[in-house]
Structure formats: structure tokens, C-alpha cells
Amino acid sequence: MSHFSAFPPSSESFRRRPAKGGRGASVTHDSAEQHVTGAAQYVDDIPELARTLHAAIGKSPVAKGTLTQLDLSQVCTAAGVVDVVTIADMPAVTDIGPVYQGDPILAGPELQFHGQALFAVAAATFIEARKAVALAAIQVDEQIPTLTLEQALASGERVRPDHMMVKGDAKKALASAPNTLTNTLYNKGQEHFYLESQISYAVPTDDGGMTIYTSSQHPSEVQKLVAEVLGIAMHKVTVLVRRMGGGFGGKETQAAPWACLAAVLAVRNKRPVKLRLDRQDDMVLTGKRHDFFSRWTVGFDDAGQLIGADIHLAGLCGFSPDLSDAIVDRAMFHVDNAYNFPAMAVLGQRCKTNTVSNTAFRGFGGPQGMIVGEAMMDDIARATGLDPLDVRLKNLYQNGDKTHYGQPIEDFHIERLMTQLERECEYRQRRHDITEFNQQHPYLKRGLALTPVRFGISFTVQHLNQAGALINIYTDGSIQINHGGTEMGQGLFTKVAQVVANEFSVDLDYVQVTATATDKVPNTSPTAASSGSDLNGKAAQAACQTIKLRLVDLAVEHFGVAPDDVHFINNHVVVGVGESAQWFTFAEFVQLAYEQRVSLSATGYYRTPKIFYDRDTASGRPFYYYALGASCSEVEIDTLTGEYRILRTDILHDVGASLSPAIDIGQIEGGFVQGMGWLTTEELTWDTKGKLASASAATYKIPTSMDVPSILNVRLFDQPNAEETIYNSKAVGEPPLMHGISVWCALRDAAASVANYAINPPLDTPATPERVLAAVMACQAHNEGLVAEQIS
């Protein structure tokens, strides 16, 4: 057999040159060139097979009601239509709830939100399918829907039971506190607005199975649900995901329905079927970040020291459970953020409404909880007359403390991180300058806030904290890696490839990560909870180490050396020591291994240690470790209009020993802007009938380049993770989103300056100019009240 090496011949210069692109190197995203040139292939770019059909969805015209008639006769006879299905046509399972029941693949006879999927049409073209769904004659016995959190709280409607977390005696602590404050905050949800909408392409196989190409963060769940809906075994279904055009949690559970419907239509017609939601349908049919209504009473002393708190968190879940149990739990886990409450009671409520079922979104409830902790710190600062940063620093957790769910605080260097950022961004001087600016400008006011982030890393559902990987090494020395994580632009494939390159000490160019596929690595967890690199990096490392051990054993047997005398260095395998050492290029040694019948393929597996959570006692260690960070934002508002500018943001973020600094910094920048968008420009609105009014880019405003701070500085905090993660790195996906909270706090700070920081201005989110103006007017009303009191 001929042999061609991917590696150049060994030479003195080649031996001396370090391998390129291993851990800690700032490398280019593996698909960067394809992204910017348009060559990256997404599901809709896959060349369609002959006789491919295109599907579209017919939707419920009401938010709540009972279907009395569904006449699809005109739909069936419309131009190009080949098939139409309702829930009655499903071959087997019809409820595809990811954790709990409640998510029918198609609605009927009960309709539970405006726009709920009611039937599906397959036609020769996408346009013909879209036109056909509009021809349905639908009659409904319409009922009064529950559309708001206030209505759900009043009626007691829930998708899952309430849950409590308790630390100490909060009631007693509040009764003894010298000062107490009560406040509320409403956080609206957020649309994922990924660039690639939900899409699946189902191709029947000749053995009665199905191949699904999909844009999903959870291929194994798609595989399982497609099998269940079709009534076949999972091994008959193969799901492939090469890349997604964004996900942010919106494709963790809610990619599955469209794969299932495409598969059903494909089986019925024995033809490939593509189901792609257009932007408006995607926004109507899929869930968003949960709205949260938060209420709290916090107790503290005159020096701003926390004594206790009683907190109620209510999440707007929509019509079904989806992932709301875990999402509200994570909000409860993070309501303390970085602060030690000696006593605390936290109630989490999962409210049912006749709206689309809300789902995972970057941060997974953590942001909605964390902002409450930050609001309390600002409230206390204004009540005591202290600088908000001083109140924050005073109340930080210390190593040895315990959270309200019983997890010990360890390796907690947030104070050092915050004081470093305080110094580097010149917080104290800028605070002084802002005070002078506000005194000199009657209509423009500036605000400043420095806020921390402490975000728990792990799935809070224990069994999801596992991953597998498959490594194949070919005789030319090139390496192929497949793992259970999915690539949605976050650079996971690049990071895992860097791990593999580092383990074998070869150039990154010799490593290829292939599309996530359920027939290569089975039973995978979703790429979510910021755990992609932690889990899949460790699994890939385990597979590499298995093969390395085989290669070392070969060298020991073949060359008669000790195991410690075999080294992987600079694209070579070095056997022996000193002048007698033999240098083989990696490809040469792999060829030798093949000739000596050594397996060059291995699987790797990893499961996160230490973690557990007992929900009955609301205690445990749900997180392997905490990702930390801090951000400082400065804003300027126009008190006449409420319009504002974000002048500057400085971020110092802890990613441990970074696997890939350039990618990590990019994730931090993007996460911050997305969090800022959630809290400032992005507003979801429904009309009084429960119809989504903000269902397009024309009515839903994601942040643009013009909204990014004029000055944005991002730095990595140099501190290896104390836990044995992959090369002691830390997760980076979700935590940076919460740096956007510093912008909201700065806006509130600017508004408060109108009343000389004497009151806590009401500022629900998103903090649009209208809401900022209302906050300013509340402060002006306070001033007018003081004047009236003095006159009287």
C-alpha cells in the first residue's frame, strides 16, 4: 500500500519548531473563512435530493379555545400540495415534551396559544406550501386566555409546582434588621433571533430508517423524538448537525418538532422533506427567554451590611413545562449573585399562560435572578448614602461561606477581580467626574455601575453532565475527532480540535472535527449550560490518552525503552533519550503502529464529578465551579427624552486558563452585547388577543453596531481553575451575558442622580427610552414633592 504523509519529512528545523495551535493559542475559528465568504454550508444550503418536498405550518388563530371544525379541503387541492397532516395522522407518539408531557406535536382539539402549530403541509415548493396553509377553514370555540404573569399569579395557574430554597430564618432576620426595603422588578423576555431559523431536512433510508439534517443543539433528543413519533427504534434514526447559524438555547428543545414533522411527511410520501420556518413563523411558533416578575424585601444595617431577604420569583412559562422547572431553579440559584445573605428565603413560581412555551436562552434563568441581587445592592446604596460599589464589596461571599442551597464557596477570588477592574477602569475618579458633570448639565445626566458575575457551571440535572468522543488517526498522521457537542458559532469545534492537537503535540492543521452525528457518538447531552468545552474537551482528551498509551506501549515493546522515554514533541514521537533518541514524525510513528496492528481509533468518555442536588431538601452542590467576572459601564441619558448612549464598558472576565483567548474574548464581547440588548432595546409585545405583535425585524430591535459602547475594553483574568477541568479552563458561553446588567444599573444610577440619589427609580426592562424617561420623571416628582413640603 502506498503511503503519503500529511507531515513534512523530519529535519532539524522541523524538530525545533513547536506545534502550532494547541491549548492557550489564539487561533482562527475553524469556519471563519467560510463564514465571511458565504461558503459555510447550513441545512438550507445542502443540495436537495430529487423529489424533495417542502413543508409549512398552519397555525391556531386564537390563544385559547376548542377546535370545532378544521376544513383542509382547499389546502389539499391547492397547487403543488402533495400531503397534509394533523395530529390524527401521527404514526405513534404525539406528545414530545422534552422533560414533562404537555407539548403536542400538533394542536387539537384544544388550542393553547395564538399561532400554535395546527397542521403541516408538504408541497413541491416552499412558496406553494406557504400559500396553501392560508386556505384552511378553521372554526373555534374561543375562550378567554391567560396572557400575563399578573393573571397567572392571581389564578394560581402553574406548569409545575412552586419551589422554595431557604437559608436560616429570613422572617426573623428581617424583623430584627434596622432597615428594610421592598421593591419589584419586571424583566420582559427576549427573542433568540438566531440568523438561521429552525430547519430540518428528513431523508428516508432504504432500510426503513431516517436521516435528519437539522439545526439543533440536541441531536440525541431529536433522534429520540423522531423515533418515538415514527414508532421505530432509535438506531433507525441518524441525526447530523455540522453547524448552526446561532442557537442561544432556542434550539435545545424546540428544534425537535420540525424534525419530527418533516420525518412524518417523509415516511408518508417516501420522499425527502425539508421544513424551514421563515422568520415570522419562527418568532411566532418558538419560545423565548422567560419574562420574570420579582418581588423582594431585604434587610440591612446602617453600614449597608446584608441581614436577610425574602424573594419571590415568578417566571412566565407559557402553555407547557418545556424546561421551565430548571430555568426557574437556576434563577433561584443565582438571585444572590456574588453576595452572602445570612438568611434568605427564595420562592420560585412557574406560571402558566396561553402564550408560546418559553424555553432555554443563554443564561437559562440566571440573568433574571442575578439582576435582582444587583437591584438590591443599588437600593441599599441609595438608602444608606454609600457608593454602590462599596456596598457590593462589603457583602461579597468569602471562601468558606455557603449559598442558600448549601454549596460551599471555594476558590472565590471575585473581590480581587473587582478591585483590579476598579483600579484599571479608574472607577473612583470617574465617579467624581460624573458627579461634577451632572451638577454642570441640567438636562444630561451620566451614570456609572460596576457589577460582578458569579455563574454556576454544570447542568443542574445531574445526568446531563456527561459526554463522549471518538478519535480516528489515519496512516498519514491526520486526526479526525467527533464528539457530542454542536457548533453554533461559539468555537466549540475549534477548542476541541486544540485539545486534540495539544495532546498529540501536532499542528492544529492536522486535526479535523466532523459533524455531530448520533451514529458516531450516542446518547449525547445538549450543547448548553456553558458546558460544551468542559464536557467534550475532557471526553476528547480521554480518547487521545487511550491512543497515546497504545503508542507508548508499542514503543516500549518495539524499541525496548522505558515508558518514560517516549515523548510527543513538536509534531514528532521521540523514542529514547540523549543522542541515541530516535525522532519519528507523528505520521511515521502512526504508520509503524498500523503495520504493527495497533488500533488507532478510540472512544473517550467524561462525566462531571462532585455535583448533586436534592430537590426535596433544596440543597446540594449543583455546580462544579463558578465562572466569575465584573463589568463597569458608563451611560449618558437625556432627561428631556429618555434617550441615552452607552459611553464605555470595561469587562474583566475569568475563563481560568483560557483554551483559546481570541475565541473567549469574542464570546465575552458577544455575550455582553446580547445581554445589553435584552435589558435595553429588545421588547416582545403581544396584543390583547395574545398574538405576537413583535414578530419581525421591523418590530423587534436587536442591538446593532450603533448600540455598542463607544469604548469597549475586554480583558481576561489570569487565574487557572482550581477544579480539574480541561487544562484548568473555565466555561465562557453564558456568563458574559450578565455583564449587560451593569448597563441597566448605570441607567438607573443616571436617573437616580436627578433626585440626588435619594430614591430608587422604577426601571423595568427592557429599559427603553420611554421607561428611562418614566424613571427620570419619578425622580423629578420626588424633587417636586420635597419642594412642596418645604413650602408648606
- Cell numbers describing residue 533: 468545552
The residue among 339, 322, 321, 330 whose CA lies nearest residue 367 is: 330
Contact between 425 and 613 under an 8 Å Cβ cutoff? The reply is no
Q: Furthest-apart CA pair in the chain: how many Å? A: 102
- Cell numbers describing residue 384: 444608606
The helix/strand/coil state of 603 is strand
Contact between 262 and 177 under an 8 Å Cβ cutoff? The reply is no
- Number of Cβ within 10 Å of residue 303's Cβ equals 12
Q: Give the per-residue SS3 of 163-210.
A: EEEEECCHHHHHHHCCEEEEEEEEECCCCCCCCCCCEEEEEECCCCCE
Backbone angles phi, psi at 314, to 5 degrees: -120, 120
The helix/strand/coil state of 522 is coil
Contact between 68 and 48 under an 8 Å Cβ cutoff? The reply is no
To the query of whether residue 415 is one of the catalytic residues in this protein, the response is: no
The helix/strand/coil state of 466 is strand
- Cell numbers describing residue 340: 452572602
The residue among 223, 225, 216, 220 whose CA lies nearest residue 198 is: 216
- Number of Cβ within 10 Å of residue 39's Cβ equals 10
The one catalytic residue among 142, 734, 770, 789: 734
Return the residue matching grid coordinates 423524538.
225
Provide the strand spans (E) within 1-114. Answer: 53-59, 65-71, 81-85, 110-111
Helix ranges restricted to H, 441-574: 492-504, 532-559
- Number of Cβ within 10 Å of residue 161's Cβ equals 9
Per-residue DSSP letter, 455 = E
How far apart, in whole angstroms, are the C-alpha atoms of residue 600 and residue 214?
Answer: 30
Contact between 258 and 199 under an 8 Å Cβ cutoff? The reply is yes
Contact between 323 and 99 under an 8 Å Cβ cutoff? The reply is yes
How far apart, in whole angstroms, are the C-alpha atoms of residue 209 and residue 386?
Answer: 66
The helix/strand/coil state of 646 is strand
Please write down the long-range contacts of 751-756, taking CB distance under 8 Å and 24 or more positions apart. 751/445, 751/447, 751/637, 751/775, 751/776, 751/778, 751/779, 752/382, 752/447, 752/779, 753/434, 753/438, 753/445, 753/446, 753/447, 754/445, 754/639, 754/779, 754/780, 754/783, 755/779, 755/780, 755/782, 755/783
The helix/strand/coil state of 619 is strand
Contact between 83 and 265 under an 8 Å Cβ cutoff? The reply is yes
Q: Would you call 182 exposed, middle or buried from its count of C-beta atoms within 10 A (0-12, 13-18, 19+)?
A: exposed
How far apart, in whole angstroms, are the C-alpha atoms of residue 63 and residue 114?
Answer: 4
Per-residue DSSP letter, 47 = P
- Number of Cβ within 10 Å of residue 413's Cβ equals 14
How far apart, in whole angstroms, are the C-alpha atoms of residue 521 and residue 470?
Answer: 7
Per-residue exposure over 695-731, b if at least 16 CB sit within 10 Å of its own CB, e if not? beeeebbbbeeebebeebebebbebebebebbbbbbb
How far apart, in whole angstroms, are the C-alpha atoms of residue 105 and residue 61?
Answer: 17
How far apart, in whole angstroms, are the C-alpha atoms of residue 777 and residue 763?
Answer: 11
- Active-site residues: which are they? 734
